[in-house]
Structure formats: C-alpha cells, structure tokens
Structure 1
Amino acid sequence: MEGISQSISKLLRRSGKGRSDEKKQYYSSVLPEGLCRRFSLAEIKKATNYFAYDLVIGEGGFGKVYKGFIDDRGISVAIKRLNIKSSSGQGCRELTNEVLLLCQIRHPNLIPLIGYCIDEGEGCLVYEFMVNGNLHQHICGTNHDPLPWKQRLAICIGVARGLHYLHTGLKHTIIHRGGKMSDILLDEKWEAKLADFGLSKMGPPSLSKALIRVESVVKGTMGYLDPEYLRSEELTDKSDVYAFGVVLFELLCGRKALDHNLEEEQFHLISWASKCKQEGTINEIIDPYLMGKIAPECFKIYIGIASSCVREEGKDRPAMGEVEVGLEHALQLQESADAAREEGEYDYPINELTCSDSPIENEMY
C-alpha cells in the first residue's frame, strides 16, 4: 500500500498545466508494469464492437459503460470509457486512481477490476460484468420487480462490509467518496459490489477510533454529500457514513435522494425523513411495496442506524463497523419475526416507532 500512497500523492501534486499528450504519457507511465492487465485500444474496440450503442449499459458524468466480451468472447465484462481528452486531465486522474487502488485490494464487496486501457487518447477500465446491474435500477427503475425487504437488508450489509474494510481493513484508510445507489452493483447471487473509485482518497494509517481527515476540493453527488464536508472542505471517513445513510433511506423509501418530481417538502429525502421523524409519522416514508412487510422491531433498529448515519456532525455518526453490526442485528430480528408470524402484515404502532431518542438507538450508538 505504500506504493499506492506514493503514486497517488504524486498524481495530486501534478500541476494541471501542460500539453494534453504530455499528461496522457505521464498518467500512463505512473502505473507500474504488471499491476494488472493492460488492454490495447484495438482489444477494447473488438470487445465492444467499436463502442456499439446497443451495448451501452450505463452512463454518467465520466462517460458511458459498455457490456463487452474479451478473450475470444469467452468472458463478459463491463467497460467504462472515461473522457481523458479534457484539458483538466480529470479523466486521467480518475482512471489512474482507480487502477492503483483496485489492483491491490480485494474484498467480496468491492468490484473486481480486470484491467485498463490508456491508448491513442482513449481511457477505459475493464471490470467483471455484474449480471443484475446496479441498485438504482432496481429501486428507482421501472423494468424490474421491487426488491424484497430482506434482500435490501442483505445488500446494505454487503456495502457496509465493503466500506468497513476500506476504512479499517488496510494499512491506510481509503475514503470511497461516492456510495450512491448507481455505485452499488449486484452479481448473479445479488451480492453487493461497491464500484467507482475514481474520486476515492487515501488517508493516513488506519486507526480504529480516530476520525480520519483529508483536505480535499469538494466533489461528489448532490444529495449524498456530507454537509460537514461541504462547509469545511475536509473529507473524512464519516463522509462515507453519511452517503451510506442516504442509501439506507433510499432503500427504505423506494426513491432517490433528490426527486424533482415531488413537491418541495419531499424533494430532499433526508430533510423529509427528518421532518417525518420529528412529527411522529416516520412510518409514512416506507416504500408502499414494503408496507406491512417490515417487522416493527427491525424497523426501529434500521431507522435508528440510518438516522445516526446522517447526523449533521461527523463525530456524532457511527463508524462503519458499528453500522455493519447494527444492520446484521436488524436482519436477524426480521428473520425471527418472520419465522414466528403465521400470516398477515405487520402493524406499526406510532408510539413505538417515532421516539426521536429511542432507547435502542442510544444503546447501539
């Protein structure tokens, strides 16, 4: 990991000035030989049928993602094509950052990187193909059946494990700096895989109790950005916790963090959920598909965890390890309640669910 840290630091010190071709050569050469598989542009074009439109499976500010086939079409892959031709060099930095990180870390809940391409002005990242797409498609899309509650919980637990590993399982803390639903991919077994490490930052050596701080220009996705980070421009591991808390509410409510199609009061999910909690109507935010399917005891724990994650101050938020344990407990409560229930739906007594300082939340955090 020392090699990763030094390479990333070198990238961050690199001035934004200079000719475009010089930048491409620099970002290409900073990647150590043999770090992972390096594809030629000819191989990428063959894999994607020359970036065929009908193979596009995703799109974002970085560019398009294509389904592709490598090694004589024997292996399905996802190929992210980044814009590395801009004068800022941002695309090159993101590509190099992701390669340096993902080629040297392994975890069941992080996206496996197969290789990369920097060739003839093109920059691409090649990943294992995730059969079930991303979480946003299943929660906010219209072409998929709604995910059952226990499956949503299991996905949350997987993401929490991945973030916990990044924060404490390595010599240096890695702050993901993303975590939105479209960054959470799902394999054939519906196991969550955290993706998109282009903006990730490496902090100082991991310390289980310390708050990790990294000075950084504010970048990220609105709706998921830690309000403390916006004010201070200091990125911390608790910024990841905040973004994950937003995802927890999205999964519970079945909607995205910011929705311009809703009335002003409900446009911002976290503000709306906080208002409902204060007014004693927190049960009303549940996704209609899930209504009556969540055990009250599980619901209380889940709301306590999600609310703790999106607290205004980072120091007041739980660590990812605590979040992981809490979600595992919530799933156990749901499974126990389901096993004991004969039929019918769960009721949500208002006086038991809406206390702003529930004893369960205080006991856990």
Structure 2
Amino acid sequence: MNLERLINEFTELVAIESESGNELTFAKELKRRFEALGFTMSFDDAADHVPSNSGNLYGIRQGEPERRPIIFSCHMDTVTPGVGIKPQIKADRITSDGTTILASDDKAPIASLIEAIRSLDEENAELGTIELVFSVGEEVGMHGARHFDVSRLQGKTMFVLDSSGTPGKAIVQAPTAARIKATITGRAAHAGLQPEKGISAISVMSEAITAMPLLRIDQETTANVGTITGGSATNIVAEQCEATFEARSLQKDKLDRQVAAMVEALETACRKHDATLDYEVNTSYPPLLVSQDSPAVKLFKEAAESLGLTPTFSATGGGSDANIYAEKGLEVLIPACGMSDAHSVNEYILLDDLESLAQLVRAIITTA
C-alpha cells in the first residue's frame, strides 16, 4: 500500500467533474485507468435510455478459477455543486475549498479500488476474478443500476462501495421509498374584486400538508414535502397547485400506511373545499435486507477481522444502487467508505479512513 499514491489518485479523480448526467469524461478516464490494470472494460447502452451522456462502465479481470469471483460497484456521478473541485490536503483529512462538494461520494472507493489492485499486483498476488460496475445516475434515481444487465456478471457477490461511516462498518438494511405527485385544481377568480368566487388550490394544498404526518414518523419511517409550485399572479386566486412528496420506511407495510395517510389528507382537503385532486404514487426503489448468513457478510467479516477491525452492521435511511442490485438477485453488502458530510460543501474524508478503505478492499479481494 502506498498512501501518497492513493491520495494522489483520489485528488486527481475528484478534479474530474461528473455531476449526474455528465459522467462521460470521468467514465472514459476510469476506463483508461482500469485497462492499465489489466481489466477488459466496456460501456453498456444506458446512455440511450437514461438521462446521462454515458453508459454504465463494466470491467472484468479473470483470475484463478478456483477462487470466488467478486464484484465491486461504485457510482460515477456526483451531486452539485461538483464543477471545479479543488481538493485541499490538510493535516488529517482532505476537503474541498468550501465552494463545492469534495466528491468522496463516490470517488474515495474508486481510488481505493485502484490502489488496492495495483498494490496487490506489485506483490504478484494470486487473485480470483474481479468484476467492476460503475453506474451512472445513482444520485438522481439509480438510473444506471436499473438499466444494468446483471446476467453478464460471472459472480453473484457484490460490494456496493457507497456509504458514510468508518471502514469496518456495513449497511445491511435500507428502506423502500415512494414518491407522490399531486395536483390540486381549484377555481380562479380576481383576488381583489371577487375572491369569494375562487377556490385557492394553494390554500387547499397547504391545509392538506398541515394535516399530514411528516418528517420523522418513527425510527424506521420518514416523510417529506419536496416541492410546491402553483398560481400565476398575486391578483388571481390560484387555480392549480402541484406538490411532490416522498415517504421511506424499512418496512413495506409501514410505507403503505404512510402513503395512505398522505393521500387521505389530500383527499379530505379537496372534498372540504370542492377542489379536484389528481395524484400518482410510484415506488422509487425496493427495500434491502441482507441476511447475516449472506456470503457477502461472511466474506466482509473475515476480511475486516484480518485487519483487526470489528465488523458492525446497521440500517440506513437512504437507498442506493444496492437496493436495485439485490432485487435483481445479487448478494450485496454496502461497506462504509469513510466519507463524511457528503452532499455538502463541508464534505471531507480522513486520511486514515481513506487508507483503511483501501486496505479493506485489498482484504476482501485476497479473502475471496
């Protein structure tokens, strides 16, 4: 392991912009770097089907046939503001300059993968087959993972490197989520001359939202109002108002009850004020629940313990590509990757965590 080389790799990667929808330049650079490590890399046709200028990037390097093939998955896209990232190396951590994100989510694990594989090759280690899946559009709806054809994979055990927390931790449970899009139609009227003839769609929507159970519902369930738009002018009673909502829960039955409560609040307010409601509910992603007997969990435990780490497992409130891949039949696990305050200009990663992550990836590869 070469920490200086790992830091250089990471800072070079984060400087290449790859906000959601604009991953191609970064994807081409990853293709070049992993081909230099002996991987056969190829793009799928996701760019023709999802909102990105790049397809998913798949790689494979054949290894010893008696060893178990393993898959590592990372996403290539970042949230905004992710253009013009200038990483700052400080005493114990790497940050941005405070005007952008750092993009350790998800480029810290990618840099760690490169260093882990490179260092093992320098030791002439005998390794099994390694497969790589770099997805597009994870941050905006797991678009790439939804499109990726898992039948091309040789292995079944996948480590989705995409979680905050100290290396040694892992996520084994993640929520399912639903999105509600609701449009309330009232009746327009002049707000100064005849407001009583109008039905304010904005007022009706506000009443519905006030009646909804929102934010932290319980330890497993959350709900939120995402956006509200409506009205056309200050002197017109708003005829229409549109809002989007989200609900998440680790339990499908709890999610169903939460969605039903939110829809009932909308329906009740519209009945009361003689407004019209149109709405649709869509499942954003399925739940994830990983058994302690999963091959991925067992391999992770063995690898972590070989480094003197105490493996710990927990649930998260966010979804990821892992939810999608698990539904497609893969044995997944989400190891913690050290990033902190992700999705903000305060994002950072400790140097110790970056190094630990690379060591853990090495251990997973050699343990398989």
With normalisation by structure 2, the TM-score equals: 0.26
With normalisation by structure 1, the TM-score equals: 0.26
Higher gyration radius (CA): 2
Would you tell me which structure has more helix in proportion to its own residues?
A: 1
Would you tell me which structure has more strand in proportion to its own residues?
A: 2
